[in-house]
Amino acid sequence: MRKYLAVLRGTAMVGMVYRFGYFFAILGNLLYIGIVYFLWKSIYQGRDTLRGLTFNETMVYIALGSTVFFMLKTYSDWIIHYEIREGIIATYLIKPMDFQLYALFAVLGSTVMNIFAISIPTILFMIFFLKISIATGVGLVLFPLSFMFAMVISFCIDFFVGLMGFYSESVWGISSVKEIVLMFLSGALIPLQFFPEAVRNILFWLPFQAIFHTPLMMVTKPDSGLGTFIPMLAVQAFWTIALIVLTRLFYNQAIKVLRISGG
Amino acid sequence: MRTLGEYLRLYFIIEAQYIKARMQYRADFIISSFGMFFTSLVTLSVFWVIFDSVPDLAGWSLMEMVFIYAFYMLAISPMQILFDHFWQLRFHIQQGTFLKYYFRPLNMMFYYISEMFDLKGLIQLAAGTILLVYSATQLSVEWTITRILLLLLTLFSASLVQISMTVSAACAAFWVIDSYPVLGLAWKLREFSPYPMTIFDGAFRFAFTYIIPIGFVAFYPSQLFLRPSEVTPLIYFSPLIGVGLFALTYWIWTKGVNSYTGTGS
Amino acid sequence: MSLIQTKDLSKHFKILNRREGLTGAFKDLFSGDFRTVKAVDGISFDIDAGEIVGYIGPNGAGKSTTIKMMTGILKPTDGTLLINGHVPYTNRIQQAQIMGVVFGQRTQLWWDLPVIESFKILKEIYKVDQKTFDQHMGMFNELVGLKVLYSQQARTLSLGQRMLCDITASFLHNPQVVFLDEPTIGLDISVKAKIRSVIKELNRERNTTIILTTHDLGDVEALCQRIIIIDKGKILYDGDIKKVNALFGAYRTIKVQIDGFNENTLALLRNKLTERFGKEHGIVVAETEEFWTDVTIDQARTPLSDVLGFVMSNFSVSDVRIVEISMENVVQQVYDGALG
């Protein structure tokens, strides 16, 4: 376990070195929130609620949504794809580490840094300057667990896309599709309440909303009660396990091919 | 010194070869093109979902939004197709491979961008054109010779604004190790160009018109064709704005190029 | 007028002093603590047309920095630098027309294109007329057998093939001076020999001035008439290779692993060597790698076998390696006044 924590520390330190990035990231985040504020203010023009959400609720949802999005944003798909194409993956296979776990902890390193350097300042800004209030409730307690599930699910999807590197030179196309589908169907772009009922019912069972919508609900409407949250957590848990299994299978298959034909 | 004509000819020769070589990667081309197409589709869907709940956005109808979005797609295409190599700039700089651009009797920016010609951007161009024609027809926009010329002119300026923003952001790589967030910021900003500037008040509208003029990428030019009476007089200066911004960007590039020392001793 | 003229040329850099560890990295965020590094510190030399000059020195000596100034990338901090009568930094595009550069292992060919297409593009860039182009390509083909590579993409070439292509490409436009940085690194002996003969032939045919930076002393021996040694930004030696040749040929380093090595061993070894071979033995004893003691000898003064035999009979030696003199040792010798 210690060696994986060392990997985590490694990427965290790299984050320290590339310090300028954080200033701009925070700036970008705040700018995005500002723009989103105006956009939705216009959408809400003259209306109190839309689809059951007030402007304030939607605002909090999107603002926190983009923050959570940033916490979860990894470039593992690009990085892993690159490492596979360039043959660097061979160096990991030699080491006494599981490649997938290694990749996960590497990502966790930068996630930890992102949380401290970007997300927390942004949230503090939102609370103190934009006077956005975060309600309390059981949701806040469940949030860390939900976030961890979301993290693993997101990582698995990225890892899966990255593994395509064994089969294709192109990562942009698949990655973009993944990214946009993720953002759209997970509720990061628009609160899911705005989607038609039928679509929403299907989405509930897909892993996408398990990444954003669920942890986000815990923070935006933490008082929704255990009755709402437990099923959502269950779906998350299911997808976490399912995706770990899926990526594992894909990985083993790909590695087998690599070992036989030399990559 | 080379003339513009000579540079154009050289560009054509290099790109012809580049495209020939890239066409061999058929799968990559298909996947990327699909990705590009799909991304545009989803973004349009966002509009659709919003307009499913409200009849208009700050007084703009769905079809008008589609027109603005189409204009936006056309305006960002030149950046995508011609200047895509700038997304790699930070890697070239860090790994020292950027040095090779100094060694040829060529303008360095020209040499740099000539190495990449993004084919999937052509898909974006095509899609944008179709969408523009479609929405214009739906909105019964009248096309006179003057208007068509105006369209081309504003598209030209808009693309320069877009190019300037992204390239300037990419040039941060000369001074900052991890310049990706700067590029990310520029990218985020441009994501909001297809929205009506009227949704912003005060400081933001000022900033997006005078400081980081994303308003000129799609909205203000679109007003010329959709709501001629509401047009801001500034729009007629857009070529100046576009060229001016690009000149500034080129200055930043030159500063960066002069300050680069390469890796190693 | 010499083709390349430098006088009191200097280049200084400001470097941030980085601190260690996580807290150190955090402190660095607010640091204003810089130091000045004198990469090149007042060098002067003139190079005439047609010369092949070896520009050598250990890593960090300032070689690349000098080359970058000559190719117009870096602006000198001080002093004069003229190539063909012009200042490289302010005339980059113009100067590029008369220069050829092969910089390290980074190819300048277009990666995805067939080799011949790269050459054709270069023809357009350098405005080489068709006749000259054909002539040169014909010559390259004779020298190097380039034709078989024409249709291959640069990315599929082996390192040796790529190097040959890059070198011939750098001569395509008949430049007045060509800068070759590590042209034979990582290549096997036969390819190295081929590259050396190509460079020699092109220099002979065209009277092209060649500046060669390399760690491979074989390159230097085979090609250079003149050597400039630089270390820590200053010129240690500038002159005929024959003098330095004497150094290369004669010197050998015997590397031994001595059992029970402790802090007294080096002194003991030195004393014993002086006892046996007299005060003027010119043998240098040092520990350059962990567990290995380097005994560098001048074969002109003391035969290798004698020294080796002596060391092995007086000390318990578990492993031996014999290597030719390294760049670092050459510089060390020059420092110590081996060239007078």
pLDDT in tens, B197-251: 888 877 888 888 888 888 889 988 888 888 888 888 888 888 999 999 999 999 9
Are the C-beta atoms of C307 and C295 separated by less than 8 Å?
yes
Which chain B residues are closer than 8 Å to C116 by Cβ?
none
Q: What is the pLDDT of residue C24?
A: 61
Band (B154; pLDDT cuts 50, 70, 90): very high
Nearest to C329 by CA among C258, C231, C195: C231
Which H or E element spans position A178? helix A172-185
In terms of CA atoms, which chain C residue is nearest residue A20? C29
Which H or E element spans position A114? helix A99-114
Percent of the residues in chain A that have a pLDDT greater than 70, as a whole number: 94
Is the confidence at residue B264, as pLDDT, over 60? no
Which chain B residues are closer than 8 Å to C60 by Cβ?
265
Q: What is the pLDDT of residue B265?
A: 38
pLDDT by 10s per residue, chain C, length 340 = 788 999 999 988 877 776 665 566 566 666 677 788 888 999 999 999 999 999 988 877 888 899 989 998 888 999 999 999 999 988 888 899 999 999 867 788 888 889 999 999 999 999 999 999 999 999 888 888 888 889 888 888 888 888 999 999 999 999 999 999 888 888 888 888 888 999 999 999 889 999 999 888 788 888 998 999 998 889 988 988 877 766 666 778 888 888 888 888 888 888 888 888 877 777 777 777 777 888 888 777 788 888 888 888 888 888 898 887 766 667 777 777 666 5
Q: Is B105 on the interface with C (CB under 8 A)?
A: yes
**CB contacts < 8 A (A, B):** 106
Percent of the residues in chain B that have a pLDDT greater than 90, as a whole number: 42
Q: Is C26 on the interface with A (CB under 8 A)?
A: yes
Q: Is residue B21 part of a domain?
A: yes
Which chain C residues are closer than 8 Å to B7 by Cβ?
none
| Residue A241 vs residues A145, A206, A234, A247: alpha-carbon distances, Å | 14, 13, 11, 10
Across B17-36, average pLDDT? 84
Q: Kindly determine whether residue B33 and residue A173, on different chains, have CB atoms separated by under 8 Å.
A: yes
Closest CA–CA distance from residue A231 to any residue of chain B (Å): 26
**CB contacts < 8 A (B, C):** 71
> Which of A9-23, A224-238, B107-121, C91-105 tops mean pLDDT?
B107-121
Residue B74 CA to residue A47 CA, distance in Å, equals 34
Best C108, C109, C155 residue to mutate vs chain B (most B CBs within 10 Å): C108
Residue type for A45, please? Q
Q: What is the pLDDT of residue C98?
A: 93
Contacts of A among chains (3+ CB pairs under 8 A): B, C
Q: How many CA atoms within 13 Å lie on the side-chain side of B222?
A: 29
Helix residue ranges per DSSP H, chain B = 4-22, 26-53, 62-82, 89-95, 108-114, 120-138, 145-170, 180-191, 202-206, 219-226, 238-259
Residue B150 CA to residue B216 CA, distance in Å, equals 14
Which chain C residues are closer than 8 Å to A9 by Cβ?
22
Residue with tokens 């490649």: A99
Which residues in chain B (12-51) have CB-CB distances under 8 A to chain C? 13-14, 17-18, 21-22
Q: Is A75 on the interface with B (CB under 8 A)?
A: no
Which of B21, B99, B258 is facing C103, going by the closest CB pair?
B99
Q: What is the pLDDT of residue C248?
A: 63
Residue A31 burial (CB count, 10 A): 18
Q: What is the pLDDT of residue B252?
A: 95
| Helix axes B145-170 and B219-226, enclosed angle (nearest 10) | 170
Cα-Cα-Cα-Cα dihedral sign, residues B89, B95, B97, B99 = positive
Q: Is A260 on the interface with C (CB under 8 A)?
A: no
Which residues in chain A (13-72) have CB-CB distances under 8 A to chain B? 17-18, 20-25, 27-28, 31-32, 34-35, 38-39, 41-43, 45, 47, 50-51
Are the C-beta atoms of C111 and C153 separated by less than 8 Å?
yes
Q: What is the pLDDT of residue B256?
A: 93
Which H or E element spans position A121? helix A120-128
The residues, ordered by sequence, that sit 6+ positions from C121 with a Cβ below 8 Å of its Cβ are B13, B14, B17, C110, C113
pLDDT tens-place string over residues A122-173: 778 777 776 666 677 777 788 888 888 888 888 888 888 888 877 777 778 7
Are the C-beta atoms of C49 and C42 separated by less than 8 Å?
no
Q: What is the pLDDT of residue C22?
A: 54
Closest CA–CA distance from residue A43 to any residue of chain B (Å): 6
Are the C-beta atoms of C12 and C75 separated by less than 8 Å?
no
Residue with tokens 């007028």: C1
In terms of CA atoms, which chain C residue is nearest residue A9? C22
Report the range of poorest mean pLDDT among A86-90, B151-155, C309-313: A86-90
Q: Is A167 on the interface with B (CB under 8 A)?
A: no
Q: Is A180 on the interface with B (CB under 8 A)?
A: yes
The DSSP output letter for A119 is I
Domain total in chain B: 1
Closest CA–CA distance from residue C244 to any residue of chain B (Å): 24
Q: Is C1 on the interface with A (CB under 8 A)?
A: no
**For chain C, which domains are there?**
4-232 (3.40.50.300), 249-335 (3.30.70.260)
Which H or E element spans position A153? helix A138-163
Which of B54, B181, B188 is facing A32, going by the closest CB pair?
B188
Are the C-beta atoms of B47 and B62 separated by less than 8 Å?
yes
Residue A8 CA to residue A102 CA, distance in Å, equals 9
Structure tokens at C54: 């070896």
Pairing of strands C251-258, C292-298: antiparallel
Best A16, A19, A26, A113 residue to mutate vs chain C (most C CBs within 10 Å): A16
| Helix axes A172-185 and B26-53, enclosed angle (nearest 10) | 20
Q: What is the pLDDT of residue A25?
A: 78
Which residues of chain B approach chain A closer than 8 Å at the C-beta?
A: 25, 27-28, 31-36, 38-39, 42-43, 45-46, 49-50, 52-54, 57-58, 120, 176-182, 184-185, 188-189, 192, 195-196, 198-201, 204
Q: Is residue B265 part of a domain?
A: no
Q: Kindly determine whether residue A173 and residue B184, on different chains, have CB atoms separated by under 8 Å.
A: no
B68: left (phi over 0), alpha (psi -120 to 50) or beta: alpha
Q: What is the pLDDT of residue B85?
A: 93
Boundaries of every domain in chain A: 2-261
Range of the domain at B30: 4-85+96-259
Q: Is residue B237 part of a domain?
A: yes
Band (B77; pLDDT cuts 50, 70, 90): very high
Nearest to A215 by CA among A241, A239, A179, A243: A239
Which chain A residues are closer than 8 Å to B22 by Cβ?
none
B58: left (phi over 0), alpha (psi -120 to 50) or beta: left
Q: What is the pLDDT of residue A263?
A: 47
The residues, ordered by sequence, that sit 6+ positions from B45 with a Cβ below 8 Å of its Cβ are A184
Q: Kindly determine whether residue A190 and residue B46, on different chains, have CB atoms separated by under 8 Å.
A: yes
Which chain A residues are closer than 8 Å to B46 by Cβ?
184, 189-190
Helix (H, G, I), strand (E, B) or coil at C53: strand
Which chain C residues are closer than 8 Å to A13 by Cβ?
22, 25
Tell the burial category of A213 from Cβ atoms under 10 Å away from its Cβ (0-12, 13-18, 19+).
buried
Structure tokens at B9: 């000819």
Q: Is B103 on the interface with C (CB under 8 A)?
A: yes
Residue C64 burial (CB count, 10 A): 26
B71: left (phi over 0), alpha (psi -120 to 50) or beta: alpha
In terms of CA atoms, which chain A residue is nearest residue B182? A24
Q: Which residues pair with C35 in a beta bridge?
A: C15
Q: Kindly determine whether residue A13 and residue C26, on different chains, have CB atoms separated by under 8 Å.
A: no
Q: What is the pLDDT of residue A26?
A: 81
Q: Which residues pair with C13 in a beta bridge?
A: C37
Helix (H, G, I), strand (E, B) or coil at C250: helix
Best C67, C105, C110, C178 residue to mutate vs chain B (most B CBs within 10 Å): C110
Helix (H, G, I), strand (E, B) or coil at B77: helix
Are the C-beta atoms of C222 and C233 separated by less than 8 Å?
no
Q: Which residues pair with C102 in a beta bridge?
A: C180
Per-residue HEC secondary structure of B123-139 comes to: HHHHHHHHHHHHHHHHC
Question: Quick check: pTM over 0.90?
Answer: no
Concatenated DSSP letters of A7-54: HHHHHHHHHHHSTHHHHHHHHHHHHHHHHHHHHHHHHTTT-SEETTEE
Q: Which own/partner pairs from A182-187 qualify as long-range (CB within 8 Å, at least 24 positions apart)?
A: A182/A157, A182/A208, A182/A211, A183/A69, A184/B42, A184/B45, A184/B46, A185/A209, A186/A210, A186/A211, A186/A212, A186/A213, A187/A61, A187/A65, A187/A212, A187/A213, A187/A216
Q: Is C29 on the interface with A (CB under 8 A)?
A: yes
Torsion angles phi and psi, residue A148, rounded to 5: -65, -45
Q: Is residue B264 part of a domain?
A: no
pLDDT tens-place string over residues B173-197: 998 777 888 888 888 888 888 888 8
Q: Is B116 on the interface with C (CB under 8 A)?
A: no
Closest CA–CA distance from residue B98 to any residue of chain C (Å): 10
Q: What is the pLDDT of residue C129?
A: 92
Which chain C residues are closer than 8 Å to B261 by Cβ?
13, 68, 73-74
Is the confidence at residue B108, as pLDDT, over 70? yes
Query: B261 or B265: whose pLDDT is higher?
Result: B261
Helix residue ranges per DSSP H, chain C = 21-28, 63-70, 92-96, 115-125, 130-144, 159-171, 189-206, 217-223, 241-250, 265-277, 304-314, 327-335
Which chain B residues are closer than 8 Å to A195 by Cβ?
49
pLDDT tens-place string over residues A6-15: 888 877 777 7
Q: Kindly determine whether residue C29 and residue A13, on different chains, have CB atoms separated by under 8 Å.
A: no
Residue B259 CA to residue C11 CA, distance in Å, equals 13
